[in-house]
Amino acid sequence: MLFKSKKTSLKDLVLPRHIAIIMDGNGRWAKKRALPRSAGHSAGSKNFKDIARYCNKIGLEYLTVYAFSTENWKRPKEEVDNIMNILRDYLKDAKNFKDENIKVKFIGNIEALPDDIVFLIRDAEENSKEATGLNLNIALNYGGRDEILFAFKSLAKKVQKGEMNIEDITEQTISNSLYTAGQPDPDFIIRPSGEYRLSNYLIWQSAYAEFWFSDILWPDFTSKHLDKAIEDYNKRNRRFGGV
Ligand code: FPP
């Protein structure tokens, strides 16, 4: 463990309730090794499983990972197909969720995905619904603006049907209409790979999140890096607009 030689250990630290990760840098990781981009995504997927298991082990309540954005469809078809196939393999391996006590939920425009993936997703969610460990959100065909648009439309429909008044639309009712309804907002957002942007990720929910950036490419991001990020999080002074 990272803190072996130091006084600090994870147990002396406050864990964020909710960590969100942008799993970036798979392509560059592959390029550095003269491998196809698909090898980067396979390595990224393996790392995702390791990090999710680690988060479960340390008792994290919520982890949200960005697997595929509404903008990622612009990539070459071969790459999109490759990511979807990685996802299929992961979903078919249902014990990923059941035996590990991880409760999985997919956030994003899921119904627009291929039928077999939608079926596997609903099956995986159903199979893990009683799990009491980590709540794992996988953002797939996800866009923050798309999510907010979806929430506004569902609220507008309720107003149109006379089920609610415009005055009843509050920050809370908007939060309750997002894919992450009922979950705490992310406290801590991690983006490896040297990019310093949010890329349409959890844009409503991240209003008061702390950010952690690093040059490490996602397949190389280990539990030790996560420990270091959590240590840094503990040095932040979160004021939520107060003093
Ligand atoms: C960003 O790296 C990565 C993606 C858009 C895909 C992430 C997908 C996975 C890690 C697989 C997910 C699998 C499961 C089972 C959830 P990039 O391709 O943009 O890298 P680059 O910026 O170096 O090109």
> Tell me, what CATH number does 29's domain have?
3.40.1180.10
Query: What is residue 240's predicted lDDT score, i.e. its pLDDT?
Result: 84
Is residue 193 assigned to a domain? yes
Is residue 203 assigned to a domain? yes
Question: Cα of 140 to ligand 1 centre, how many Å?
Answer: 11
Is residue 8 assigned to a domain? no
What's the structural domain count of the chain? 1
Q: Respond yes or no: is residue 24 known to be catalytic.
A: yes
Indicate whether 3 pLDDT > 60. no
Is residue 6 assigned to a domain? no
Is residue 1 assigned to a domain? no
Question: Hey, whose CA ends up nearest to atom 3 of ligand 1?
Answer: 24
Mutate to test the pocket of ligand 1, among 41, 47, 79 (most ligand atoms within 8 A of CB): 41
Closest listed residue to residue 179, CA positions, set 213, 219, 151, 216: 151
- 196 to 41, 146, 158, 190, 240: CA distances (angstroms): 21, 21, 38, 10, 22
Q: Which of the four pLDDT bands, split at 50, 70 and 90, describes residue 8?
A: low
Could you identify the atom of ligand 1 that is nearest to the CA of residue 90? 15
Is residue 158 exposed (0-12), middle (13-18) or buried (19+ Cβ within 10 Å)? middle
Cβ < 6 A, ligand 1 pocket: 23-28, 41, 44-45, 48, 67, 72, 83, 86-87, 90, 138
Among 12, 26, 56, 72, the one annotated catalytic: 72
Question: Cα of 208 to ligand 1 centre, how many Å?
Answer: 25
Mutate to test the pocket of ligand 1, among 21, 24, 55, 191 (most ligand atoms within 8 A of CB): 24
Is residue 238 assigned to a domain? no
Is residue 7 assigned to a domain? no
Domain that holds residue 86: 16-233
The C-alpha atoms of residue 155 and residue 166 are separated, in whole angstroms, by 9
Question: Cα of 104 to ligand 1 centre, how many Å?
Answer: 19
Average pLDDT over residues 230-241: 90
Q: Which of the four pLDDT bands, split at 50, 70 and 90, describes residue 5?
A: very low
H/E stretch holding 232 reads helix 223-233
Residue 110 in contact with residue 79, Cβ under 8 Å? no
Helix (H, G, I), strand (E, B) or coil at 44: helix
Question: Which has the minimum average pLDDT: 11-15, 104-108, 149-153, 161-165?
Answer: 11-15
Question: Cα of 41 to ligand 1 centre, how many Å?
Answer: 5
Closest listed residue to residue 28, CA positions, set 37, 19, 20: 37
What is the percent of the chain with per-residue pLDDT over 90, rounded to a whole number?
A: 89
* Number of other CB atoms surrounding residue 79 within 10 Å: 16
Q: Residue 153 phi/psi, 5° resolution?
A: -65, -40
Q: Respond yes or no: is residue 47 known to be catalytic.
A: no
Mutate to test the pocket of ligand 1, among 22, 26, 78, 106 (most ligand atoms within 8 A of CB): 26
What is the widest separation between alpha-carbon atoms in the chain?
63
Question: Which has the minimum average pLDDT: 1-15, 25-39, 177-191?
Answer: 1-15
Is residue 199 assigned to a domain? yes
| Helix ranges (DSSP H) in 103-200 | 115-127, 144-160, 171-175
Helix (H, G, I), strand (E, B) or coil at 80: helix
* R_g over Cα of the chain: 19
